[in-house]
Amino acid sequence: MITRDVVFHDRYGLHPRAARLIQGSLDGFSAKVSLENLEGDHSPVDARGMLALISSGIRSGDRVRITADGADEVAAIGSLGDLLESGVDHPDVRL
Protein backbone atom coordinates (compact mmCIF):
# COMPACT_ATOMS: atom_id res chain seq x y z
CA MET A 1 0.00 0.00 0.00
CA ILE A 2 1.37 3.41 -0.94
CA THR A 3 0.23 6.98 -0.46
CA ARG A 4 0.89 10.30 -2.15
CA ASP A 5 -0.23 13.75 -1.04
CA VAL A 6 -1.22 16.32 -3.61
CA VAL A 7 -3.02 19.65 -3.67
CA PHE A 8 -6.32 19.64 -5.55
CA HIS A 9 -6.83 22.44 -8.07
CA ASP A 10 -10.13 23.24 -9.65
CA ARG A 11 -11.87 26.49 -9.02
CA TYR A 12 -15.25 24.75 -9.08
CA GLY A 13 -14.30 22.14 -6.50
CA LEU A 14 -14.63 18.41 -7.05
CA HIS A 15 -17.68 18.47 -9.31
CA PRO A 16 -19.01 15.65 -11.53
CA ARG A 17 -16.86 16.54 -14.53
CA ALA A 18 -13.69 16.46 -12.44
CA ALA A 19 -14.89 13.19 -10.89
CA ARG A 20 -15.23 11.67 -14.35
CA LEU A 21 -11.64 12.63 -15.14
CA ILE A 22 -10.52 11.02 -11.89
CA GLN A 23 -12.43 7.83 -12.74
CA GLY A 24 -10.93 7.88 -16.22
CA SER A 25 -7.38 8.14 -14.88
CA LEU A 26 -7.92 4.84 -13.04
CA ASP A 27 -9.38 2.92 -15.98
CA GLY A 28 -7.46 -0.28 -16.54
CA PHE A 29 -5.85 -0.39 -13.08
CA SER A 30 -6.90 -2.99 -10.56
CA ALA A 31 -5.50 -1.40 -7.38
CA LYS A 32 -7.95 -0.13 -4.78
CA VAL A 33 -7.56 3.65 -4.74
CA SER A 34 -8.99 6.09 -2.24
CA LEU A 35 -8.86 9.85 -1.75
CA GLU A 36 -8.87 11.54 1.61
CA ASN A 37 -9.45 15.22 2.14
CA LEU A 38 -6.76 16.19 4.65
CA GLU A 39 -8.44 19.52 5.47
CA GLY A 40 -10.76 18.96 8.39
CA ASP A 41 -12.33 15.74 9.54
CA HIS A 42 -12.99 13.43 6.58
CA SER A 43 -12.72 9.71 5.89
CA PRO A 44 -11.09 8.32 2.74
CA VAL A 45 -13.49 7.78 -0.15
CA ASP A 46 -13.39 5.42 -3.14
CA ALA A 47 -11.66 7.28 -5.98
CA ARG A 48 -13.77 5.38 -8.52
CA GLY A 49 -17.12 6.35 -6.98
CA MET A 50 -18.90 9.32 -8.55
CA LEU A 51 -21.07 9.98 -5.51
CA ALA A 52 -18.24 9.51 -3.06
CA LEU A 53 -16.06 11.94 -5.01
CA ILE A 54 -18.60 14.72 -5.43
CA SER A 55 -19.70 14.51 -1.82
CA SER A 56 -16.13 14.44 -0.51
CA GLY A 57 -16.18 18.21 0.01
CA ILE A 58 -12.74 18.55 -1.62
CA ARG A 59 -12.20 22.13 -2.77
CA SER A 60 -9.54 23.90 -4.72
CA GLY A 61 -6.39 24.29 -2.63
CA ASP A 62 -7.21 21.37 -0.32
CA ARG A 63 -4.49 18.85 0.45
CA VAL A 64 -5.59 15.38 -0.56
CA ARG A 65 -4.04 12.02 0.26
CA ILE A 66 -4.23 9.30 -2.39
CA THR A 67 -3.87 5.74 -1.14
CA ALA A 68 -3.43 2.86 -3.59
CA ASP A 69 -3.31 -0.81 -2.76
CA GLY A 70 -2.82 -3.64 -5.26
CA ALA A 71 -0.45 -5.15 -7.79
CA ASP A 72 -0.38 -2.04 -10.00
CA GLU A 73 -0.57 0.48 -7.14
CA VAL A 74 2.49 2.42 -8.32
CA ALA A 75 1.16 3.00 -11.82
CA ALA A 76 -2.36 3.77 -10.56
CA ILE A 77 -1.20 6.32 -8.00
CA GLY A 78 1.05 7.84 -10.66
CA SER A 79 -1.80 8.24 -13.12
CA LEU A 80 -4.22 9.79 -10.62
CA GLY A 81 -1.54 11.82 -8.81
CA ASP A 82 -0.29 13.35 -12.04
CA LEU A 83 -3.83 14.25 -13.08
CA LEU A 84 -4.57 15.93 -9.76
CA GLU A 85 -1.27 17.79 -9.71
CA SER A 86 -1.82 19.09 -13.20
CA GLY A 87 -5.27 20.33 -12.18
CA VAL A 88 -8.59 19.19 -13.58
CA ASP A 89 -9.81 22.72 -14.07
CA HIS A 90 -11.42 23.77 -17.34
CA PRO A 91 -8.75 25.00 -19.70
CA ASP A 92 -8.36 28.73 -19.48
CA VAL A 93 -7.79 29.33 -23.10
CA ARG A 94 -5.43 32.22 -23.63
CA LEU A 95 -4.40 34.05 -26.73
Question: Is residue 63 involved in binding other proteins (CB under 8 A)?
Answer: no
Question: Is residue 85 involved in binding other proteins (CB under 8 A)?
Answer: yes
Question: Is residue 13 involved in binding other proteins (CB under 8 A)?
Answer: yes
Contact (CB, 8 A) for 80 and 22: yes
Question: Is residue 44 involved in binding other proteins (CB under 8 A)?
Answer: no
Question: Is residue 82 involved in binding other proteins (CB under 8 A)?
Answer: yes
CB 66, min distance to other proteins, A: 14
Strand partners of residue 64: 6, 37
Strand partners of residue 37: 64
Strand partners of residue 21: none
